[in-house]
Structure 1
Amino acid sequence: MTQDNYNGSDARRVDSEQIDLIDLVVQLWRGKVTIGACVIIAILLATGYLFVAKEKWTSTAVITQPDTAQIATYSNALNIIYGMSAPKVSDVQERVIDRFNSSLSALSESLNNQEQPEKLTVEPIVKTEKVPLQVTYEGQTAEAAQQQLARYIQHVDEQIAKELDVDLNDNIKLQIDTLSDSLKTQETVAQEQKDLRIKQIQEALKFAEQANITKPQVQQTQDVTQDTLFLLGSDALNSMIQNESTRPLVFSPAYYQTKQTLLDIQNLKIDPTTIHAYRYVMKPDLPIRRDSPKRALTLVLAVLLGGMIGAGVVLGRNAIRSYHPKP
């Protein structure tokens, strides 16, 4: 008997749920006009939003470090300035692209902090690698996004080229001063050596005159040392003093190498327009799909939202009508 009552209760509960679901569908069907009106209003609002909302298009470019030809003048200048201690071309390429990345990131921050922010992003394609870099810019039209991204990349490239040119000129001035000081030092040393040589001969001449030696007393001049120089005789020593006084300074090969390096550096002429800090892997593309607003998605959401609001209005209205307060 108890089991029969339990089964009967379950059956009534299932019937009640089915009746409630059917009743819900019937209520929604009867309120289809209200639901349709809400859907139409939502679509109209969405359409109005699509007309007034600002469009967003994203153009993308992929860049990597410059090739050898793009930094050839800069790299050659470094080789002339620093010689064997100049950095390798691969090191120069890495430094230049790092500098370009830093400047582009700084530009991105400044654009984002404007009264009307602009969205420029720079990030490596592979997180563990520095290059290649993906650069994106968000504009109000596809053409504007593409053109503005290209302008910003070119602007940063020209800025880096000017900075490298300034750095080179500063290094050139510093190296010219260093080499000029080195030449002056070597010239001073050579002059002192010449003066010392003349004094040594003059001292030997005094000894020769005191010893009354006028003619050479040795057969082989290569055997003469500083202490025995007076044995060459006063006549030979006087002639040597005259020759040493008019003889040009004697320099080591290092002096002439330094002078050649100085002349090469002084003749350096760098054109900043020949220096480029990046190379395109993919130029700024022309986007074919806008990021927002998305028309299809907006309209679909409007239909769903309008339907939900309409259904809520219908069900709420019927619930209020059928509500009877308990006595």
Structure 2
Amino acid sequence: MPKANDEIDLFELMATLWKKKGVILLVTFLTTTMAAGYAFTAKEQWTSEAIVTVPSAAAVSNLYAGYRLLSQDDKVVPISDIQNSVFKRFLDDSASYDNLARYLAETAYFKELVSGKTEKEKIQLLDNWVKQITIQPVDINVVDKVRVTLPADNASQAQQLLRQYLVQSSQQAVQQSYADLEQQIAAQKASLADAMMASRSVAEVRRQTEIADIESSLLIAEKAGITKPELSAGMELKQNNLFLLGSGPLSAMLQGIKTQPLVLSDKYYEQQTNLYSLEKYQPNSEQVLAFSYLKAASDPVTKDKPKKALILVLGALLGGIFGIVSAFLINAIEQRKLHG
């Protein structure tokens, strides 16, 4: 018998729903209309995406040339170190909240977006926008392939803003890299100049000492009346018997030493060459990029929100549910009044 009662209840249920179908349809229509109103008037959002990686060797060649000049012969910096260093700096600059906020706040797009809003509302909008921008590795195990996304309320604007931000971050990273390089070059040039000056000072002291020794020997030779060499066979020429060369040869030797250039070591001329190379180096930041594209900033073909079809389906579904609930409530109230 329970089965018969269940069937009766089911028939009563269906009868109630059919009786109140107008209520169900009305509620469903209202919720669907509200959903449609939201779906077709809500602010759209489109997201542009780019995938970037380390710059090519050609893109950092000028920067690398500068670091090569700073390297010792046995410690040449690999170009991959420069590529990775510039790219890391680019990622750090790109991911900086302050850099993002500063860039976005200065765009014409944002200024138009916040026109007429209070300062607090502007700050909130900017904060929400910055938090929607993502900079993450494509693969957690591959750190040099990074996906960057930026949303806006239309596709072309999202693409343009992302492209401009990547270029600006690249320029900032390159400028910082060159600033570091130029600081190191300046320090290296000063160090080389000091070392060369020290070498010349030592060479000059050596020459003056030699001149003094010859002048002393010349004076002795002149007093002794020795004008020509009087060295015995096999005699070793030393400082204390240099006068035996005679005043003639000693005078010629003295004149030669005073007029000849300083005798400097090979190390000095190597330093001179390095200094000349550093002075001739011309930084060219315009030729350097801090990243290269694996996928250029895209023009989004589908929007993130609102999902109109999904919103309409959900609106109709919720409307149906609310309509059924409303039908049962109305029926219960009517039955209560009838038996009251």
Normalising by structure 1, we get a TM-score of 0.89
Residue pair 1:63, 1:280 contacting (<8 A) in 2 also: yes
Cα deviation per residue 1:73-109 (whole Å; 9 max; x = unaligned)? Answer: 1001111233433421011111111111111111587
Pick from 235, 255, 271 the counterpart of residue 258 of structure 1. Answer: 271
Taking a change above 3 Å as real, the CA distance of residues 127 and 310 of structure 1, as seen in their structure-2 partners, is: same
CA distance in 1 between counterparts of 2:191 and 2:98 reads 40
Residue pair 1:204, 1:230 contacting (<8 A) in 2 also: yes
Determine the structure 2 residue equivalent to 1:41: 30
Q: Structure 1 residue 64 and structure 2 residue 53: aligned?
A: yes
Gaps of 5+ in 2: 105-121
Q: State the secondary structure of the residue aligned to 2:96.
A: helix
Q: Partner letter of residue 116 of structure 1? A: L
Q: State the secondary structure of the residue aligned to 1:115.
A: helix
Residue pair 2:62, 2:283 contacting (<8 A) in 1 also: yes
User: Percent same amino acid among aligned pairs?
Assistant: 30
Determine the structure 2 residue equivalent to 1:7: none
Pick from 277, 284, 305 the counterpart of residue 292 of structure 1. Answer: 305
Determine the structure 2 residue equivalent to 1:116: 125
Shift of 1:256: 1.5
Determine the structure 2 residue equivalent to 1:90: 80
Gaps of 5+ in 1: 1-11
Q: State the secondary structure of the residue aligned to 2:281.
A: coil
Trace 1:153-232 onto structure 2 (pairs within 5 A). 153-209=166-222, 211-218=224-231, 223-232=236-245
Residue pair 1:108, 1:121 contacting (<8 A) in 2 also: no
Residue pair 2:94, 2:100 contacting (<8 A) in 1 also: no
Q: State the secondary structure of the residue aligned to 1:63.
A: strand
Q: Partner letter of residue 146 of structure 1? A: Q
Determine the structure 1 residue equivalent to 2:92: 102
Larger Rg: 1
Determine the structure 1 residue equivalent to 2:253: 240
CA distance in 2 between counterparts of 1:295 and 1:281 reads 32
CA distance in 1 between counterparts of 2:53 and 2:192 reads 37
Shift of 1:251: 1.0
Determine the structure 2 residue equivalent to 1:282: 295
CA distance in 2 between counterparts of 1:156 and 1:115 reads 24
Pick from 126, 131, 137 the counterpart of residue 144 of structure 2. Answer: 131
* RMSD, aligned α-carbons: 2.4
Q: Structure 1 residue 52 and structure 2 residue 41: aligned?
A: yes
Taking a change above 3 Å as real, the CA distance of residues 17 and 120 of structure 1, as seen in their structure-2 partners, is: same
Determine the structure 1 residue equivalent to 2:316: 303
CA distance in 1 between counterparts of 2:266 and 2:189 reads 19
Q: State the secondary structure of the residue aligned to 2:143.
A: coil
CA distance in 1 between counterparts of 2:144 and 2:62 reads 23
Cα deviation per residue 1:229-288 (whole Å; 9 max; x = unaligned)? Answer: 222123322332222122221111221221121111112111211010000011011211
Shift of 1:202: 2.5
Q: State the secondary structure of the residue aligned to 1:125.
A: strand
Q: State the secondary structure of the residue aligned to 1:280.
A: strand
Q: Partner letter of residue 32 of structure 1? A: K
Pick from 58, 64, 67 the counterpart of residue 78 of structure 1. Answer: 67
Shifted more, 138-147 versus 170-179: the winner is 170-179
CA distance in 1 between counterparts of 2:244 and 2:182 reads 57
Residue pair 1:61, 1:134 contacting (<8 A) in 2 also: yes
Shift of 1:110: 4.0
Residue pair 2:70, 2:185 contacting (<8 A) in 1 also: yes
